[in-house]
């Protein structure tokens, strides 16, 4: 199943710089592992925003929820999920 996911990152302004660097490094490793496995086939920065649009390819809602809630940045993001179906005009 494919899902369109938008993530808006909202790191606290006063966050400790070492803690910030550490969580960003863990986020990068986590996301790159999912990209390599094909579970996260698209990851795009939204121009001018600290946000991304992504496509996830997972078995079901529960797998997506587990992956998203495991993101190191999950406590610092607003996440919006849109399930995708096949478009009848798609070729
Ligand atoms: O920067 C972001 O958009 C948030 C998040 C998504 C992947 C990643 O490495 O960080």
Range(s) of the domain holding residue 41: 2-84
Q: Using 50, 70 and 90 to split pLDDT, how confident is the model at 74? A: very high
Ligand 1 atom closest to the CA of 45, numbered from 1: 3
Q: Report if residue 89 sits inside a domain.
A: no
Domain of 6, CATH number, reads 3.30.70.1060
**Which helix or strand (DSSP H or E) is residue 20 part of?**
helix 17-37
Q: What is the pTM of this model?
A: 0.96
When the pLDDT of each residue in the chain is averaged and rounded to a whole number, the result is 98
Count up the domains in the chain and report the number.
1
DSSP 3-state assignment of 22? helix
Ligand 1 proximal residues by C-beta, below 6 Å = 7, 9, 27-28, 31, 43, 52, 73
DSSP H helical segments within the chain, as ranges? Answer: 17-37, 61-69
Question: Would you state the structure tokens that stand for residue 26, as one six-digit string?
Answer: 């863990």
Q: How confident is the model over 3-12, as pLDDT tens digits? A: 999 999 999 9
């Amino acid at each position: 199943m494919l899902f369109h996911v938008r993530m808006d990152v909202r790191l606290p302004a006063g966050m400790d710089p070492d803690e910030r660097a550490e969580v960003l490094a863990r986020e990068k490793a986590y996301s790159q592992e999912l990209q390599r496995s094909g579970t996260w086939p698209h990851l795009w920065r939204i121009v001018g925003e600290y946000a991304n649009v992504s496509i996830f390819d997972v078995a079901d809602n529960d797998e997506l929820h587990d992956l998203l809630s495991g993101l190191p940045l999950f406590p610092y993001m607003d996440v919006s999920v849109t399930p995708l179906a096949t478009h009848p005009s798609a070729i």
